[in-house]
A and B are shown apart, each in its own frame.
Chain A
C-alpha cells in the first residue's frame, strides 16, 4: 500500500514573528516540520511496518528550503519525499489541489495521513479538501487508527473528551491529533540512513492543478503581542475575582 503523508514547513511555535510589509513575515526564523505532522509521519511508519509491501511517501508544497522538513520526515522513517516547489504563499484550496495532483500522479494512495492542523495557519481544512477532491472519506483529530483489511477504524476526539468511532473504507484521509501517538524522533543512525533517501522536486508550474472559482489570500498581517504595560487589579478577593473573569470574558474572550 502507498501511504502518503502530507507535511508542512512551518515557523517554530516559539519563533518571534516580525511582520514585513502588508502581509509577509520575516522568514529568518527556524522553520520545521509541523508538529501535528510528526504524529502523522510516526503513524504512517507504524502502519507501514505492519503491512508488507507498503511505502511511506512524504509530500509537501513549499519553498526550496522546505526540503529540510521533508528530510525530517525521511529521518523519522518515510521512504521518499516529493517537494512541489513554489515561492508564492498558498492557502488550503490551492494546497489541496496541488497535493492531490501530485499524489495522483505519483501513485495510488491507499491511505493519506496529515496533521489535523498546521500551527501557523490553523485552517484545519486541507485534509477535507484533499478528501473531497479524491472523493475519499475523511476523519479529523484522530487519536486511534487501526487498519483491518480495506477498512480503517478510527477514534476521533470531540469536545469534552468525548470520542466517536468511525469505520472508513480505504483509501481514506486521516487528520492526526496529538493523542494518536508519541512522535518517534530520529536517532543519529536514522539520520545517516535517511541521507540516501530521495526527495524529488517538481516545480509548481509543471503541474496541472485545474482552476477553482474560489480563492482566499492574506491581505494584511499585524503583530498581536505588543509591549506589555501591566495594569494592577486591586480590591477585595471578590472584586478581584470578578474583574479577572471580566477580563477573561470581555478582553481575552476565552469564556
Chain B
C-alpha cells in the first residue's frame, strides 16, 4: 500500500515550507519531499534574503510590504515553535534605492504612495551624510571591465535616492526555511529529504501522486511544484502541465560576491541595503563587515542557463564545480568600487554561486495547472524570498478554493492580505498570461 497524503509539496525551500505550514493549519495532511538533505539547502541557501519593498508594480510593492510584516513578527508567525537550530533573525538596515537610469524609480515612488510604504527622499548631500564612503557620480550605462569605456571618467552625478527606513535582510535564509518546517511539523506536516521525484502520476485526468527515484510511490490528490530551479523538470513530469503553460521557467546561474568593506567604514552596523541601478548592483551588509554584492543583470552581462542537476552535482557551468568566475568577480566588485572608491578588492574571489528559477518575464507563476490537483509556485527568480510567508498563505488559500470548485482560470482568485488593507489578483501570476512587459526582467521585480 502506498502512503497517502492530502497534499504532496515538491520542495522544502523557503516557499515550499510555508505552503505546507498554511495547508496544515487548514487541516490538510501534507508531505514535503526534497532532493537535498535539509530544508532550505537548495537555492534558498544561496539567496541574499533581502527584504525591501521597491518593485515596479503596485502589487509587487504591496506583497513585499505585506511580507515585511511577517519577518518583523517571526516568532508569532511560527506560532512560537522551537527550532533546535535557533531562529533566523531579521536585521533592519533601511533600504536605499538610488535614483538612476537603471531603475524605474519614479514608478516605485508612485507605488510607495499608493500602497502607503514609509519612505524619504534623499538628495546627494543626504546620501553622502548617511553613506560617507559613497562617490555619487553617475556611472551609467553599466558596462563590463573588458570594455575600455568602463574606465571612463564620470562627469554627472546621480539624482539622489529614495530611502525606506523599513527594509533589511534575514540572516541565514536556509535557517528561515528550517524554522518554517519546524512550525509546519508542529501542525502535523511531514518532510522527507534526500528524496528525488522522478514521476508525477495521474489517472483519469487528475493527479494521483508521485514516484521517487528509489521506486517508492506516494499518493495524494494534490501535488504542488515548488521545486525552485528544478521546477521545469517537475512540470515536464506531470501530464499536460508543461504544455499548458504559456510562461515557462528555467534555471539561471547567478553569482553573489563578498568583498570586505573599507576598514574605516562600519558597514555591518552602520550600513544600508542599497539597490543601485546606476552600477547594476545591489548590496547589503554581511557578517565580517563585508559587502554582499548582487548583480541586477545589466544587459552587458551574459546569462548562463544551466541544467540544475548537473549544476548541483558540480558539473557543467562556467568555472567548473560552480565556483565563481574571475570575470564576474571583477565586474561586480569594480562596479561597486566606482561607487565606493575606498573598497579594496581582494585577488581571490569569494562568494556564492547558485541558481535562479527564472520565468520568461521574471514574474513568478503562482497558479493551478491544466492537470487538476497539480499546482505550482515557481519562477521565483531571485526576488521572492521576502514574499515567501505571504506566498505560503496565498497558495494555500488558492489551492483550497480550487479544490472547492473555484474556476481560477476564468474567475481569478482574489487574495486578501492579512496585514495591509488590500487584495491582490492572483490571476496576475497566471501560467496562461502573455509576457508582462512592465516587468523589470531582472531581480528588481
Contact = CB atoms under 8 A, between A and B. Distances in A.
A66 to B, nearest CB: 13
Contact of B344 (A13, A33, A72, A186): A186
Interface stretch (B191-199, B345-353, B401-409, B418-426): B345-353
A35 B350 CA distance: 14
Interface in A21-67: 26, 28-30, 32-33, 35, 38
Given A35-B348, A188-B337, A192-B151, A28 B343 contact: no
Given A32-B326, A184-B344, 17 more contacts: A12-B323, A12-B349, A16-B323, A26-B320, A29-B320, A33-B347, A35-B347, A72-B347, A185-B345, A186-B345, A187-B342, A187-B345, A188-B337, A188-B341, A188-B345, A189-B341, A191-B337
Nearest to A185: B344
5 contacts: A12-B348, A13-B348, A15-B323, A16-B323, A186-B344
Nearest to B322: A16
A185 B347 contact: yes
Contacts of B319: 28-30
B321 interface: yes
Residue from the set B314, B346, B347 with the largest chain A CB neighbour count within 10 Å: B347
A195 interface: yes
Contacts of B344: 184-187
Interface residues of B, number: 21
Interface of B: 151, 314, 319-321, 323-326, 334, 337-338, 341-349
Nearest to B334: A188
B338 A18 contact: no
Contacts, number: 58
A14 B337 contact: no
Contacts of B338: 188
A195 B334 CA distance: 14
Interface string A177-189: 0000001111111
A42 B175 CA distance: 39
Contact of A187 (B323, B325, B343): B343
Nearest to A73: B347
Given A16-B320, A16-B321, A16-B323, A187 B337 contact: yes
A33 B324 CA distance: 16
Contacts of B346: 183, 185
Contacts of A14: 323, 348
Interface of A: 12-16, 18, 26, 28-30, 32-33, 35, 38, 72, 183-189, 191-192, 195
A152 to B, nearest CB: 26
A45 to B, nearest CB: 13
Contact of A16 (B151, B314, B334, B347): B314
Contacts of B342: 187
B349 A30 contact: yes
B149 to A, nearest CB: 12
Nearest to A192: B151
Closest A-B pairs by Cβ, 7 of them: A188-B337, A185-B344, A16-B321, A32-B347, A185-B346, A30-B326, A33-B347
Contacts of A183: 346
Residue from the set B325, B338, B345 with the largest chain A CB neighbour count within 10 Å: B345
A72 B314 CA distance: 29
Given A16-B321, A191-B334, A38 B347 contact: yes
B345 A28 contact: no
A187 B342 CA distance: 6
Contacts of B343: 187-188
B341 A187 contact: yes
Nearest to A30: B326
A72 B333 CA distance: 14
A9 to B, nearest CB: 11
B349 A28 contact: no
A244 B44 CA distance: 35
Contacts of A187: 337, 341-345
Contacts of B337: 187-188, 191
A191 B335 CA distance: 12
B234 to A, nearest CB: 28
